[in-house]
Amino acid sequence: MDNRLKRKLTFFTIGLIFLLSGVEYAVILPTIWMYLQTLDAAPYFLGLALSAFSLTGLLSGPLFGHWSDRTRTTKKIILFANFFELIGNLMYFMGYSKWLLLSSRLVAGIGTGAGSSIFGVLTRSTAPKDRATVFASVMACRQAGLLIGPACNVFLRLCDFHLGPFVVNKYTAPGLFMCLLWTLLQLAVIFMYWDLPPLENREDTQSSTGQSMEEEDHEHERVLVEEDNDEERPLMGSQEVEGSYGSVLESKPPRLDASAASNTTLNSISESPSPELPESHESSCSYKEFSISREFLREEVVVLLAAQFITLFNQTALETMVTPMTQKYFGYGELENSVMYCLCGVEVIAAFLFVYWLSQRVAERVVLAIGLTICNVSAVWCLIFLANPLGGFPWRLTEFIIGVFLQVLGLPFVAVAQVSLFSKVTAVETQGFSQGVRRSVGGLATIMGPLWSGGLTENMYIMLGVMMALLALLTMMLAFSYERLVAPVAVDESDESVSSG
Q: Which CATH number goes with the domain that contains 167?
A: 1.20.1250.20
On whether both 16 and 154 belong to a single domain, the answer is yes
> What's the pLDDT score for residue 475?
93
Residues of the domain holding 152: 1-198
> What's the pLDDT score for residue 376?
93
Q: Is 139 exposed, middle or buried (0-12, 13-18, 19+ CB in 10 A)?
A: buried
CA 24 to mean position of chain CA atoms: 18
Looking from the CA of 398 toward its CB, the CA atoms found within 13 Å total: 6
Domain boundary among 153, 175, 198: 198
The residue among 52, 85, 81 whose CA lies nearest residue 181 is 85
> What's the pLDDT score for residue 275?
40
pLDDT digits (tens, 9 = 90+) for 480-500: 998 888 877 654 444 444 444
Domain boundary among 171, 198, 225: 198
Report the SS3 class of residue 201.
helix
Q: For residues 469 and 273, what is the distance between their CA atoms, to the nearest angstrom?
A: 57
In a domain, 94, yes or no: yes
In a domain, 311, yes or no: yes
Tell me, yes or no, if the pTM score tops 0.85.
Answer: no
Residue 246 has pLDDT above 70, yes or no: no
pLDDT digits (tens, 9 = 90+) for 134-189: 877 887 788 788 778 777 877 888 888 888 888 888 888 999 999 999 999 999 99
On whether both 313 and 441 belong to a single domain, the answer is yes
On whether both 301 and 183 belong to a single domain, the answer is no
Domain boundary among 198, 224, 254: 198
